[in-house]
């Protein structure tokens, strides 16, 4: 239990990704682990210098939408300075499509989900990392995210695309879970979690729970 770790979750954007429901789910899990979580629905939180200086981790869950230069600078400067960050699905990797520096921080950007809601397999590639240790490969029925990703990511889990919906990508192995650094900040991302019900899959929920704890230096 470590109440000294402070987390800021900023959620909103497209409602189809259940930003409120997913954020509250993981806020509860982090609080159960002893973290102090502040929930916000305003991107202006990134302009609050005192708030940003007080947190250990930021969870940005804000699909699409727009962010001002000042708001983006507040977020990215904090991460470069050593505040860690973690998130999931489009809330983190399909946010602020015009902001390439934000995408550089995330390490990837959503571009497609061929076939929309489909059955697919998640292959857990790294059994040594604390985020994925002991988690076996598992099945999802959801959006299978096709992303443009950074080669410098440390990839922990992948998925392989079939050719049913886009024949030209058949056999493509795509990162699903990764970690990286942006400046001094640690970054965690999982593409799982289109809607809150996706986290009824125990492995999907546990990977994000552990990933956020890892990003908060509490795992």
Q: What is the pLDDT of residues 200-211, one digit of tens each?
A: 999 999 999 999
Q: Which band of pLDDT confidence, cut at 50, 70 and 90, is reported for residue 1?
A: very low
| Whole-angstrom distance, CA of residue 35 vs CA of residue 29 | 9
The answer to whether residues 108 and 212 touch, using CB atoms and an 8 Å cutoff, is: no
| Whole-angstrom distance, CA of residue 143 vs CA of residue 27 | 23
Q: What is the pLDDT of residues 55-114, one digit of tens each?
A: 999 999 999 999 999 999 999 999 999 999 999 999 999 999 999 999 999 999 999 999
pLDDT of residue 212: 98
Tell me how far CA of residue 203 lies from CA of 28, 81, 134, 138, in angstroms.
17, 32, 10, 7
* CB-CB neighbours of 36 under 10 Å: 16
Average pLDDT, integer, range 141-155:
98
- Residue spans of the domains in the chain: they are 6-215
**Mutual angle of helices 19-32 and 202-215, in 10-degree steps:** 70
What CATH number does the domain located at 6-215 have? 3.40.50.880
pLDDT of residue 4: 78
């Amino acid at each position: 239990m470590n109440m000294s770790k402070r987390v800021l979750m900023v959620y909103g954007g497209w409602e189809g990704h259940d930003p409120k429901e997913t954020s509250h789910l993981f806020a509860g899990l982090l609080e159960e682990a002893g973290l102090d979580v502040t929930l916000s629905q305003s991107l202006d939180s990134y302009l609050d210098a005192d708030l940003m200086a007080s947190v250990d981790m930021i969870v940005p869950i804000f699909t699409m939408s727009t962010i001002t230069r000042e708001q983006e600078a507040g977020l990215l400067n904090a991460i470069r300075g050593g505040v860690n960050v973690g998130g999931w699905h489009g809330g983190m990797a399909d946010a602020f499509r015009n902001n390439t520096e934000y995408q550089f921080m995330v390490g990837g950007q959503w571009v497609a989900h061929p076939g929309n809601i489909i059955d697919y397999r998640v292959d857990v590639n790294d059994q040594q990392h604390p985020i994925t240790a002991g988690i076996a490969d598992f099945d999802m029925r959801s959006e299978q995210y096709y992303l443009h990703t950074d080669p410098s990511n440390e990839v922990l889990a992948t998925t392989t695309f079939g050719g049913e919906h886009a024949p030209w990508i058949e056999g493509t192995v795509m990162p699903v879970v990764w970690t990286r650094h942006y400046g001094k900040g640690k970054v965690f991302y999982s593409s799982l979690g289109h809607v809150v019900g996706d986290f009824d899959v125990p492995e999907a929920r546990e990977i994000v729970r552990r990933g956020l704890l890892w990003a908060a230096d509490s795992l």
